[in-house]
A = this chain, B = another copy of it.
Amino acid sequence: MTQSSMPELARKPSAGFDLKLWGPFLALAGLIVLGTLVNPVFLSPANLANVLTRTAFTGIIAVGATFVITTGGIDLSVGSLAAFTAGVMIVVMNALVGPMGAGMGAGWPVVLVGMLAAVGLGLVAGLVNGLLVTKGRIEAFIVTLGTMGIFRSLVTYLADGGTLSLNSGMRAVYRPVYYGGLFGIPTPVLVFAAVALIGAVILYRTRFGRYCAAIGSNDEVARYSAIDVDRVRLLAFVLQGLCVAIAVILYVPRLGSASATTGVLWELEAIAAVIIGGTMLKGGHGRIWGTVVGAVMLTLIDNILNLTGAISVYLNGAIQGAIIIVAVLLQRGTASKR
């Protein structure tokens, strides 16, 4: 049989405009139009800066969640972990402020130690979650449901049921990390962008990122391809812990406090951002930029509702829910019609 007779089979996945790929971005654009219609203030730089800054916390956490979910896992403990980490960070800084002093000179080292403590705790917590999932062979859902309760409890205990507040001298030093910025862009937004960028590079351009998707798609195949499945899974949880720590480092200077209410339901928000962004809940396919858009969308919906007085406050949740569904319906709908 002659070779020339082989039909041209090559199908290009990139043929034309991929609505499945661009769906989240279109939905975001739709929301922005809606916001502008509701209240022109929406487009003011101050409001946009507010929105993006707020998104930073859950957004950064959601970047981590993208990895965990891509491997086919789930992490319910991130909100509690954020609260616990914030609590520990404050306790550490308050404890150091005595010996090291809170003056402008000595302040930064204390903040740095606090940050290190946060990062350390985040990594350890991720490691614990990851080890229980991989070595303990327990479903990620159950492990992190358990640690969710544990971390939440620990911060309540640490705060004696109340609120842990950062020493006011320290706050003055630390404040710029949240309220400052570069070229008019708030620091949290910059950090969020950096985390997302690094996340995207890791997910799309490194072996680890590929392995995450491979494991989520079919862990047996991954194992057969000589991938250390447990290690990759573990690392995804550790990365998630690191992201939580980074989010907390930005969060603490905002209000300078942590309590049992800190970070409640952040896990749901982070997971929602990831899924809205087009990552599959069952794993196998992760999309960092989608996650970023998903996180921004969720904040935008809140913001838009706050900018209008037209609706009974009781119905805010309903509008939120409806917008989420419609936004995703539109992007899926258009995508499937191709």
Q: Which residues of A contact B (CB under 8 A)?
A: 1-2, 4-6, 72-74, 76, 132-134, 136-143, 145-150, 152-154, 156-157, 160-161, 218-220, 223, 268, 271-272, 275-276, 280-283, 312-322, 324-325, 328-329, 332-333, 336
Contacts and interface: CB of A to CB of B under 8 A. Distances in A.
B1 A149 contact: no
A282 B139 CA distance: 10
A272 B212 CA distance: 25
Main secondary structure of the interface of A (DSSP, over half): helix
Nearest to A281: B141
Contacts of A136: 325, 329, 332-333
B5 A314 contact: no
A5 B216 CA distance: 12
Closest 7 CB pairs of A and B: A149-B321, A153-B317, A153-B318, A146-B321, A146-B325, A157-B314, A150-B321
A123 B143 CA distance: 33
Given A219-B4, A324-B142, A317 B156 contact: yes
Contact of A142 (B139, B275, B313): B275
A32 B309 CA distance: 53
Contacts of A321: 145-150, 153
A137 B314 contact: no
Nearest to A265: B265
27 contacts: A1-B74, A1-B139, A1-B283, A2-B219, A4-B219, A74-B281, A132-B329, A136-B332, A138-B332, A139-B275, A141-B271, A141-B272, A141-B275, A142-B272, A142-B276, A142-B324, A145-B321, A146-B322, A147-B325, A149-B321, A150-B318, A152-B317, A153-B316, A153-B318, A153-B319, A154-B315, A161-B314
Given A139-B275, A157-B312, A149 B318 contact: yes
A157 B219 CA distance: 46
A2 B137 contact: yes
A6 B142 contact: no
Given A141-B272, A149-B318, 9 more contacts: A1-B74, A2-B134, A138-B328, A139-B328, A142-B325, A145-B324, A149-B321, A157-B315, A282-B282
Contacts of A219: 2, 4-5
A329 B275 contact: no
Given A317-B156, A325-B143, A137 B282 contact: no
A42 B149 CA distance: 23
B315 A220 contact: no
A299 to B, nearest CB: 15
Given A6-B220, A321-B147, A315 B153 contact: yes
A312 B134 CA distance: 31
Contacts of A146: 320-322, 324-325
Contacts of A161: 313-314
A40 B27 CA distance: 58
Nearest to A332: B137
Q: A160, A223, A321 — which one has the most chain B CB atoms within 10 A of its CB?
A: A321
